[in-house]
Structure 1
Amino acid sequence: MNKKELKIFLDEKAAQYENNDFIPHDPIQIPHRFDLKEDIEIAAFLTATIAWGNRKSIINNATKMMEIMGEAPHDFVINYTPEQAHLFEGFVHRTFNSIDFETFIRALKNIYTHHGGLEQVFLSGITNGDLQPAITHFKKVFFEVDHLPRTQKHVSDPSKNSAAKRINMFLRWMIRDARAGVDFGIWKSISPSLLSCPLDVHTSNVARKLRLLSRKQNDGKTLAELDKALRKMDPVDPVKYDFALFGLGAFENF
C-alpha cells in the first residue's frame, strides 16, 4: 500500500473498532461504570495501572479494586486513612500487590488534596507541546508520599526511554473525544493532538508489518517514531489509529 491507501485502510479500521462493541472486551469497561469525573479518572488510572497480562484477569482484578473502594473511588480516596489498610490484604495482580495498592491510594489522595487532581498534574507537566514529559512530572508528584522503592516500577517514566504504555492508554481514555462512546473526553484542557499511542505487542507488531515502525524494541524511541508516522496521517487525532492497530492485531491476527 502507498501512503494514501494506508491512511484510507487505517481510517476504516479505526472507525470499525471504535464503537460500543469494543467496551465489553476491554478494561475500559471498568471506568465506564461511573458518571462522576473523579470516579471515572481514578477508576481508569487504577485499571490502566494493572493493564498487563490476560485481559480477563485485568478486568477481574480491576473489579476487585472497585469493590474494595466500595464502588466509590473518589470518596474512598479522599477519606482514606491508614486504619483502612487491612482492606487491601490479599489483593494481587501479577507484581502489583496490596502494599502497592495502598500506596497508590495515598498518592492519589495527596494529588486530589494538594495538587488539584490528576488532570491538573498532567497539564502542569506538558513541556513545549509534548505530553510525555508530563508523565515524568506526574511520577515525581505521585511519589511525594512515603513509599517502598519497589512501588515506583508501577509508574513508567518516558525520561528513562519507557514507552509508558499503560499511562498513555489512560491518557487516551481521559482526553480523546467521547462521541464514539469508547473514550471519555473529560479532560478538556489537554489536546488529543498531544497523545501518544499505547505501544503494546499488538499495535507494535501491526505497525511494523505496515512499515510504520522500523525499530525492533518497544521503547520510548519507538513510540516517538510511531507518533511521527500517525501524526502525519491525522495531526488532530493521531491516537484514533490505536483502535485500528490494536484491532488488527488482537481480533484479526493481522
Structure 2
Amino acid sequence: MSQKLTKRSKQQIKKLKPFLDEWVERVEEPSYIDDDPVLFMHAFNDKEDQLLAGFFAATMAWGRRDIVIRKVRDFLDRMDNRPTEFITNFADRDAKRFEGFKHRTFKPVDMKWLVKILQSILLEYGSFQDFWAFCHQRATENSRPLMSVFHEQFFAQHPEAPQRTRKHVSNADKKSSCKRLYLYLRWAIRKKSPVDLGIMDFMPASELYIPLDVHVARQARALGLLTRTYNDWWAVEELTDALRLLDPKDPAKYDYALFGLGVAEDGIPEEYILNPNVL
C-alpha cells in the first residue's frame, strides 16, 4: 500500500460514534461466541481454566476462525480439558501427548515449552492473573509497553526455551501489533459484555489497545481512522488513539464494529468511506 491516506480530524472521528456504536451493538451479542475462539473461555467454570484455555486460544488465533477453533479443541483435548491440572502437574514425559499436533507454525515442541513456562508462572505467582499484574506494574513503573514486559518476563521463566517458541508470543519492542495478546486481554478485561468475560482486573479497559489484524486495519483505513500503511505497533497506537475519542473508557469495543463491517455483505456505507482504494 503506497498511496497516501486521508485522516479524519478529531471532530470528524467523533461524528462516526453513532454509526460505530450501532455496529458494536449489532456484533457484540451472545451468538458471536459460538464461532469465535473466545468460546474456549466460556467452556470452563473455573477462572484459572478460563484464563489458561483463553491464552492458548488467543495465542493460536491465526487464520480462519473455524480452523483455529478446531486446532484449539484438539490441543485442549490432549490436556483432558483440564488445563490448570495438566499444566500444574506437567512433566517432560507428558510432552508425548502433543505428538502430531500442528497449527500454522506451531509444533509439538512449542506447545511443550508454552506449557512448561505457564507451569513455572503458576508455581511462582500463584495464578496467571497475578503474573499479568506483576508485568503491568513493572511496565507502568518503567514506562514500557505492557507487551514488551510480558514477553520478557514470560520467557525469563525458561531462558532456554527455543527461539522458534519465542516468536509465538508477541513483543512490542519488536514493533509487533501484539494482536493476539490484546485479543486475549479484551476477552479477559472488558466487563459487562455478552462476549468478553471481564475476569481479570489488574488494569482498566481504558488501557486496552485494539487487536489489530489485516481486516480491522482495512476497515479503519477506509474510514479514515488509520493512515499508517503497516500493521505494526505504531498503527495500533494510531488507531487506538482515534477510538479513544469515541469512548476513552472502552476503546477496544470498536474491534467488534470494525470486524462486523469487514464481514458484512454490504460493507461500509459509501457516505462513511474516506479512502475507497484500500477496500
- TM range, smaller chain: over 0.9
* Consecutive aligned runs of 4 or more in structure 1 exceeding 6 Å deviation: 129-132
- Pick one of 31, 50, 55 that aligns with 1:40: 50
Identity of aligned residues (%): 39
- The equivalent of 1:190 in structure 2 is 203
Distance 1:188 1:151 in 2: 28
The correspondence of residues 227-238 of structure 1 with structure 2, limited to 5 A, is: 227-238=240-251
Aligned residue in 2 for 1:160: 174
Match of 2:154 in 1: 142
After superposition, the Cα gap between the structure-2 partners of 1:152 and 1:199, relative to the gap in structure 1 and judged at 3 Å, is same
| TM-score, normalised by the number of residues in structure 1 | 0.95
Q: Is the 8 A contact 2:13 2:242 kept in 1?
A: no
Task: For CA contacts below 8 A with separation 6 or more, give which structure has more relative contact order.
Answer: 2
Structure 2 residues not aligned, in runs of 5+: 1-7, 269-279
Asked if the contact 2:135/2:149 (under 8 Å) is kept, the reply is: yes
Which residue of structure 1 aligns with residue 86 of structure 2? 76
Q: CA deviation at 1:140?
A: 1.8
**Structure 1, unaligned runs of 5 or more:** none
Larger Rg: 2
Over aligned residues, Cα RMSD in angstroms?
Answer: 1.7
Q: SS at the partner of 1:233?
A: coil
- The C-alpha deviation readout for 1:154-181, integer Å capped at 9, x for no partner, is 001011111100001001111001x332
- Most deviating of 114-123 and 229-238: 114-123
2:14, 2:245 within 8 Å by CA — same for their partners in 1?
Answer: no
The CA deviation string for residues 73-112 of structure 1, in whole angstroms up to 9 with x for no partner, is: 1111111111111101000001001100011000100111
Aligned mates of 2:230, 2:144 — CA distance in 1: 18
TM-aligned CA distance change 1:92 to 1:131, over 3 Å:
farther
- Shift of the 6–130 alpha-carbon distance from structure 1 to 2, 3 Å rule, reads farther
Quote the residue 2:73 is aligned against: 63
Q: Which residue of 1 aligns with 2:271?
A: none
Counterpart in 1 of 2:190? 176
- Residues 1:132 and 1:205: Cα distance change in structure 2 (over 3 Å): farther
Q: Summarize the alignment of residues 77-226 of structure 1 with structure 2, pairs less than 5 Å apart.
A: 77-126=87-136, 127-128=139-140, 133-143=145-155, 144-145=157-158, 146-177=160-191, 179-226=192-239
Instruction: State how far apart, in whole Å, the 2-side matches of 1:201 and 1:129 are.
Output: 32
